[in-house]
């Protein structure tokens, strides 16, 4: 039985093998200095041709992730694993700024738009018009998260790019007296489309962590809807769940 | 991630959503359009029943040939996600109701039996083994060797989750392979005791490796939701270390959160206690 590498996916087979191997290298599943499986082993493991394996390895070698030594094999280069400074394990709804002081935020869009249908269908109270904010957050030179935020029209006049600064929308609204007290989150994996791939500097089709979140204030008014797309090698989501009567369920401090 | 010389890095300063320039990426151009449309259909940006942009529009906007646009649409049509009506256009299909399982973190323990009841399971591995590298950091609390229980869970006949649990060898010895059934691993452990009272979960996204790709019927490198968890008893002893890989088209993970009512600022968020949480899926 072979893995389902096939050409019908729109992703070349060498690209599929490349993706899986770079993940193994980035996570340390293949540790620094350790030998990669031999070419014939990879051929069997992934059910692809020798040429495909070679092309994937050539790409890893070209970007300096592996070293090929004639006669002795292929080895993982050191220093590929994300350092502690970059790799963040963060709790639900955390403000990314709290986990590192060198985070940067780049505003990609700040404009009034018609509220997209998917928001109106689920939450008609969102209103016909909304403020769209799109921003990219980075830690050092690594882009970490691309956020697309919709704020209902009635709150839009309170916000400006300057007022937002480096704050998250929820923090900015909090400072203006609109405090989020409940949030509904959905978490899943998505394939990078060309837009997120470009901003997060990853290949199209790469696995990204997606969080969609709707926040409300104490009266139940919607404050914002945010679609986050995270690079998983830089960010993980952490939740602690206590059993029992459910009263103690909490997100760790 | 992208090599230093990739087009993605060069284009960083000037966002260019058009996939036109990316040719040697190992990703077909039709796939790039397909992935944009697919994500838009998934998150409802293109709502069920509404029309997609026309072929000439897509072709202009993304600077792709009509053939490339058609290939992207054909793939969505083959996946039953759009319907093409001759003369009137292309429309997003209504997603079949209840086609997706939902895992609610705010009612996690309460929901375990009902998820087990809705799904079927095959046991792929059930044996003691030396801990793999990823779990080894917990070795001091789990022991040198652990019992590995790998299972494949299906919903309506479609495999959606590959899970691997590591339990202390002494506990594993008290389990029987054929008694596992579709029961959640926590329920099985509770029968042996002591009871699991808390868990730490970490969620991330990973590319399917050869094992996950075969088991879940997805392409190598396809995105999967990974959830890792450490389950503990009331004395903080590890009951199980668990990892699951789930297909994003089959499972949603949801959490209702609320802010703790304390005076300190910033007020911390927590999972909503389930007595007050809504029962909505």
Which of the residues A48, A65, A203, A218 would you substitute to probe the B interface, choosing the one with the greatest number of B C-beta atoms within 10 Å? A203
**In the predicted structure, residue A87 carries a pLDDT above the cut 60:** no
Q: Domain ends where: B44, B66, B92?
A: B92
Reported as a pLDDT band with limits 50, 70 and 90, residue A84 is very low
pLDDT digits (tens, 9 = 90+) for B101-153: 889 998 999 888 888 888 889 999 999 988 776 676 666 677 778 899 999 99
**In the predicted structure, residue A180 carries a pLDDT above the cut 50:** yes
Higher pLDDT, B48 or A62: A62
Does domain A7-76 sit in CATH 1.10.10.10? yes
Examine residue B7 and state whether it is found in any structural domain, yes or no: no
pLDDT at B12: 40
Domains A7-76 and A88-238 share a fold: no
Asked if A114 is an interface residue toward chain B (Cβ–Cβ < 8 A), one would say no
Asked if B263 is an interface residue toward chain A (Cβ–Cβ < 8 A), one would say no
Is there a single domain that holds both residue B24 and residue B115? Answer: no
Asked if A177 is an interface residue toward chain B (Cβ–Cβ < 8 A), one would say no
Examine residue B278 and state whether it is found in any structural domain, yes or no: no
Domain count for chain B: 2
Question: What residue numbers bound the domain in which B165 lies?
Answer: 101-271
Average pLDDT over residues A130-158: 91
**In the predicted structure, residue A216 carries a pLDDT above the cut 90:** yes
Is there a single domain that holds both residue B247 and residue B115? Answer: yes
Residues of A in contact with B39 (CB under 8 A): 190-191, 193
What class is the A88-238 domain? alpha beta
Q: For residue A72, what are its two tokens?
A: 């002795």
**In the predicted structure, residue B5 carries a pLDDT above the cut 60:** no
Domains of chain A, residue spans? 7-76, 88-238
Closest CA to A53 of A23, A3, A11, A14: A14
pLDDT at B233: 92
Asked if B87 is an interface residue toward chain A (Cβ–Cβ < 8 A), one would say no
Residues of A in contact with B34 (CB under 8 A): 10
Is there a single domain that holds both residue B164 and residue B227? Answer: yes
Residues of A in contact with B109 (CB under 8 A): 241, 243
Indicate the burial class of A29 (C-beta count within 10 angstroms; 0-12, 13-18, 19 or more).
middle
What's the predicted TM-score (pTM) here? Answer: 0.81
**In the predicted structure, residue A49 carries a pLDDT above the cut 50:** yes
Is there a single domain that holds both residue B237 and residue B259? Answer: yes
Closest CA to B199 of A243, A228, A209: A243
d(CA B92, CA A56): 36
Closest CA to B37 of B104, B84, B3: B84
CA of B129 to nearest chain A CA: how many angstroms apart?
18
pLDDT at B279: 40
Lowest average pLDDT, out of A29-33, A70-74, B139-143, goes to B139-143
Give me chain A's average pLDDT, please. 83
Task: Please count the other Cβ atoms lying within 10 Å of the Cβ belonging to residue A202.
Answer: 23
pLDDT at A233: 79
pLDDT at A189: 94
Residues of A in contact with B18 (CB under 8 A): 194
Examine residue B2 and state whether it is found in any structural domain, yes or no: no
Examine residue B276 and state whether it is found in any structural domain, yes or no: no
pLDDT at B170: 87
pLDDT digits (tens, 9 = 90+) for B231-271: 999 998 889 999 999 999 889 899 998 888 766 666 778 88
d(CA A78, CA A80): 6
Contact B27 A12 (CB under 8 A): yes
Is there a single domain that holds both residue B214 and residue B185? Answer: yes
pLDDT at A158: 94
């Amino acid at each position: 039985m072979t893995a389902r590498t096939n050409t019908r996916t729109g992703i070349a087979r060498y690209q599929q093998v490349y993706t899986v191997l770079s993940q193994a290298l980035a996570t340390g599943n293949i540790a620094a200095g350790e030998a990669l499986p031999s070419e014939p082993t990879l051929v069997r493991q992934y059910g692809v041709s020798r040429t495909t394996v070679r092309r994937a390895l050539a790409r890893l070698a070209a970007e300096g992730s592996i070293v090929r030594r004639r006669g002795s094999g292929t080895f993982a280069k050191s220093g590929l694993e994300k350092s502690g400074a970059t790799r963040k394990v963060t709790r639900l709804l955390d403000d990314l700024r709290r986990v590192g002081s060198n985070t940067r935020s780049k505003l990609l869009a700040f404009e009034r738009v018609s509220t997209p249908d998917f928001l109106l269908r689920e939450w008609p109270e969102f209103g016909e018009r909304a403020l769209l904010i799109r921003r990219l957050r980075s830690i050092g030179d690594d882009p970490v998260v691309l956020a697309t935020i919709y704020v209902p029209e009635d709150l839009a006049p309170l916000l400006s790019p300057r007022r937002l600064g480096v704050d998250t929308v929820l923090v900015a609204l909090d400072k203006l007296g609109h405090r989020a007290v409940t949030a509904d989150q959905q978490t899943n994996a998505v394939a990078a489309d060309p837009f997120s791939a470009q901003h997060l500097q990853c290949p199209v089709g790469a696995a990204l962590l997606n969080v969609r979140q709707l926040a409300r204030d104490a009266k139940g008014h919607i404050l914002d809807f945010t679609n986050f797309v995270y690079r998983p090698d830089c960010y993980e989501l952490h939740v602690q769940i206590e059993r029992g009567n459910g009263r103690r369920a909490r997100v760790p401090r | 991630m992208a090599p230093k010389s990739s087009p993605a890095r060069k284009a960083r300063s000037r966002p260019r959503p058009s996939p036109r320039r990316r040719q040697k990426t190992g990703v077909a151009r039709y796939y790039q359009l397909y992935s944009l449309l697919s994500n838009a259909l998934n998150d409802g940006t293109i709502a069920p029943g509404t029309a997609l942009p026309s072929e000439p529009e897509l072709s202009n906007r993304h600077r792709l040939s009509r053939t490339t646009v058609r290939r992207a649409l054909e793939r969505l049509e083959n996946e039953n996600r759009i319907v093409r009506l001759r003369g009137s256009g292309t429309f997003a299909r209504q997603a079949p109701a209840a086609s997706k399982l939902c895992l609610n973190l705010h009612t996690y323990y309460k929901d375990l039996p009902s998820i087990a009841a809705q799904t079927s399971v095959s046991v792929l591995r059930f044996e003691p083994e030396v801990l793999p590298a990823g779990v080894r950091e917990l070795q001091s609390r789990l022991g040198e060797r652990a019992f590995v229980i790998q299972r494949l869970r299906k919903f309506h006949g479609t495999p959606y989750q590959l899970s691997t649990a590591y339990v202390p060898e002494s506990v594993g010895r008290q389990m029987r392979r054929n008694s596992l059934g579709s029961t959640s691993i926590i329920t099985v452990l509770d029968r042996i005791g002591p009871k699991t009272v808390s868990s730490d979960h970490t969620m991330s996204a990973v590319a399917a490796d050869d094992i996950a790709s075969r088991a879940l019927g997805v392409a190598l490198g396809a995105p999967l939701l990974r959830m890792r968890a450490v389950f503990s008893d009331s004395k903080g002893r590890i009951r199980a270390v668990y990892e699951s890989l789930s297909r994003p088209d089959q499972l949603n993970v949801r959490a209702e959160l609320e802010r703790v009512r304390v005076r300190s600022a910033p007020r911390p968020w927590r999972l909503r206690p389930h007595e007050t949480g809504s029962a909505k899926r």
